[in-house]
Structure 1
Amino acid sequence: MTQRVELATVMDRLAVDGLVTEYAMAVDDGDWEAYRKLFTPDGRADYRSAGGIEGDAGKVASWLEESMRLFAMRQHLIVNRRVRFGVLEQDTGDTAQVHADYVNPMRLAGDVNGSSAPDFVCGGRYVFGLLRTYDGWRLREVLVREKWRRLPDGHPAPVIN
């Protein structure tokens, strides 16, 4: 591999990593317009394993905007990112797939008898499908594979769908 190819690969990895970070920050900050802009025009997301919906990015963003009102605070921690570049139309590096683990602590909205609402924590793995576009890397697909969730004892899990 030439130095030029190696540098391009490093730059792509940084751009892909930045896109995953922008995704987490858009969800955590409730910036649904920024969330929508991260996707290709045909981009889709699937949150069904976490009790959510599957659909195009616009539909999912609207659902997230409504359902995330249950939480006063969100903070995605997306780690262990495994990036693989693929081939589209005989040109290397046009696609990428990222498998990344997440832990997502959230503070439930509301105040119960003057005390803070309990924390809701979930974790699992994201699968991001990305496509290189003229505007840079964009999400073509987001799949959430929730593996676990936890609330303090005695508190029912919130219904988010």
Structure 2
Amino acid sequence: MDLQTLSDRLEIADVLTRYTRAIDTGDWDRLDTVFTPDAQIDYVQSGGIAAAYPEVKAWLAEVLPAFFPIRMHTLGQVDVALDGDEATVAAYFHNPMPVSDGQGGEKIVEFGGIYHHTMTRTADGWRSRALHEEIVWKRGM
């Protein structure tokens, strides 16, 4: 593996980490360092929306804190296929979140799946221009 490939893979891993940290901490503006302004994002399989990045960003900021006030991602098995200034990326995720059980307590809702990103090299570094969230399993819904 050459130095450029190693550098690209590390930068792409940073994009994935910025994404999960932004979602988990509610730092919605940090998502601007993850997505291109015209990115298309699809959260339909987890009950969300599919739309352009600006609409999805606003939706995330409104909906996630209301339904899932505490969020925590774990990523693993990141597969990166580089092709010049483009990359397809698949990253396994596990996302447990405590939610109200409706009776004064809480329960854990979990999602497991694969984030499918199409990334592109920009003047500001690697960015995702498309994200499709594939839900493989869920528990506690």
Instruction: Check whether TM > 0.5.
Output: yes
The question of 1:118 aligning with 2:107 is answered: yes
What is the CA RMSD across the aligned residues, in angstroms? 1.6
**Structure 2: stretches of 5+ with no match in the other structure:** none
Aligned-pair distance for 1:108?
Answer: 1.2
SS in structure 2 opposite 1:79? strand
Q: What is the aligned partner in structure 2 of residue 50 from structure 1? A: 46
Q: What is the aligned partner in structure 2 of residue 10 from structure 1? A: 6
SS in structure 2 opposite 1:20? helix
Aligned-pair distance for 1:61?
Answer: 1.0
Larger Rg: 1
Counterparts of 1:29-40 in structure 2, within 5 Å, are 29-40=25-36
Q: What is the aligned partner in structure 2 of residue 90 from structure 1? A: none
Structure 1 distance, partners of 2:32, 2:44, is 19
Counterparts of 1:1-161 in structure 2, within 5 Å, are 6-69=2-65, 70-86=67-83, 93-109=84-100, 112-113=103-104, 115=105, 117-151=106-140, 157=141
Q: Is the 8 A contact 2:71 2:97 kept in 1?
A: yes
**Structure 1: stretches of 5+ with no match in the other structure:** 87-92, 152-156
Aligned-pair distance for 1:103?
Answer: 0.7
Aligned-pair distance for 1:37?
Answer: 3.4
Q: Is the 8 A contact 1:129 1:140 kept in 2?
A: yes
Normalized against structure 2, the TM-score is what? 0.92
Q: Is the 8 A contact 1:36 1:57 kept in 2?
A: no
Aligned-pair distance for 1:111?
Answer: 7.5
Q: Is the 8 A contact 2:43 2:132 kept in 1?
A: yes
Aligned-pair distance for 1:112?
Answer: 3.6
Normalized against structure 1, the TM-score is what? 0.81
SS in structure 2 opposite 1:72? coil
Structure 2 distance, partners of 1:111, 1:74, is 19
How many pairs does the alignment contain? 140
Percent of counterpart pairs with the same letter?
36
